[in-house]
Each structure stands twice: as C-alpha cells, then as structure tokens.
Structure 1
C-alpha cells in the first residue's frame, strides 16, 4: 500500500540494493538498506571510508555512475518511487525539492 503524498514520509527507503557491473562480474555495493525520514527530521550517514555513505546518497538522487544500478528496493520521496522515475522527472526534482552537498562543498557552492 502506498501512502498519499500528504501522509507519506518525506523519504522512505525500503530494502535498497545497488550493484556495479565490472569486467570481473557483478559487485553488490549496497545491500538491503532501509530507513525513513519524516518531514522536519534530519539524517546523517556516518562510517568508515568505503562503507557506502556516498553510494547511498548517489542512489537516492539517481546519480549513480553508468556502471551502477539500483538492483532492488524502493526510494519513495513523498510517496513517489524514484527508482522508476524518468530521467526528466529526476532532473525536475533535483535542486528544487531534493539536493545534495557533495564531499567537496567548496567546489560546488558559490556564496
């Protein structure tokens, strides 16, 4: 059952998995990640280098590198599954409703 946009959590990540295709085969880089973010809440991802923080954020934004793909799960933003959204829809959302500060913010922020 999908909630209506007005009652849905702001972000509901359900069993998200991401795989990369390499010359050596398929590698799972995220496996079964789930969390919910309600309106007004904040979330931080903390962990060692290489644990999947950046890949999680890139998957949420639909910005995985060409060799990567969401292999399972859902990313529901206001009830809309972004894993099935068109590239045009994702472009409309990015910067307007969803944004990301990358690891080197001074290269992308302009006061």
Structure 2
C-alpha cells in the first residue's frame, strides 16, 4: 500500500518579533503534518502562538516587526516561505485559508455576507458577480447555514 503524502507539513517553524524590548519568540520550533481529508485543531492558552502559527502559514505576519526566522512550510509540494507575495496571493484564499478569531477582522457588518464571500470568489476564481453569488449560496448550504439564499442578502 502506498503511503499517503501530507498536504501541509510544518517543520521547525520559528516566527519571531523584533521589538525595542528585545526578541519575542512567538513560535519557536513548531512541527506538524496535515493529510488530505484531515482537520487539525490547534488549541492552547491565549498568547501561546496559535494565531501566529496560522498567520505564518498564510504568509500574513507583518514584517517588520515579525519574521519567519527558520523552518519550512510545505503545502502541496512547495515551500511557502520561498514564495513571493504575488505567488502567495494566488494560493491564499483559493487553496489555503484561515478563519480569523478576532471579531474586528471577521465579517464586516456594513456589507452583506453574500458580498463578502463573493469578493474572494470573484478575485480567486474569476467568477462574475452572479456566479459568485450563486456559489456563495451553495457554500453556505454546504456548511449547513439555514436559508442560504436569504442569508447572502
């Protein structure tokens, strides 16, 4: 039987923040693998590096002051730490995504849920507005949101 290859492999990830007070080692040697069809839940105390780990994978650590100083983040056979911002933008939101835990960076109450979901579909999948709206309804239905046609509005 052929051994399954991991979809995501994080090896010795170290993400540090360089501040006036010194170096903050927010992530210091994280390792894990995720295989196709698996879900990984990262739990821990507030401030332990969960969000910084996810932001590192997504290439969203603000630099300065943050920087991935060591490690590899392999996704579908390529090391994400070696990609340019343009290359990451093509992957982010399309092939790999994150649900942010901070309420102020989540959905914006000024815009409809449909518009906010459609925005990434138009950007990453080159869909028309109508196609993106239809796909947003389909996605809401898929995750069990009741009355998805009404929710997009």
Native 8 Å contact 1:8 1:79 kept in 2: no
- Aligned residue for 2:6, secondary structure, equals coil
**Residue 22 of structure 1 aligns with which residue?**
19
Whether the 8 Å contact between 1:8 and 1:78 is mirrored in structure 2 is no
Instruction: Give the distance between the partners of 1:80 and 1:45, measured in 2 at CA.
Output: 22
Q: How does 1:1-111 map to 2 (within 5 A)?
A: 8-66=5-63, 67-103=65-101, 104=103, 106-107=106-107, 110=113, 111=152
* Mapped partners of 1:95, 1:27: distance in 2: 28
Runs of 4+ in structure 1 displaced over 4 angstroms?
none
Q: For the residues of structure 2 that align with 1:101 and 1:50, how far apart are their CA atoms?
A: 17
How far off its partner does 1:8 sit? Answer: 3.8
TM-score computed with the length of structure 2 as normaliser: 0.64
What is the RMSD of the two structures over their aligned residues, measured on CA atoms?
Answer: 1.7
Distance 1:24-1:60 versus aligned 2 partners, 3 A rule = same
SS of residue matched to 1:56? helix
In structure 2, what is the Cα distance between the partners aligned to 1:95 and 1:107? 15
Structure 2, unmatched stretches of 5+, are: 114-151
Aligned residues: 105
Larger Rg: 2
CA distance 1:106–1:17, shift in 2 (3 Å): closer
Give the strand-richer structure, 1 or 2: 1
Q: Secondary structure at the match of 1:19?
A: strand
TM-score (normalised: structure 1): 0.87
Bigger relative CO (Cα 8 Å, ≥ 6 apart): 1
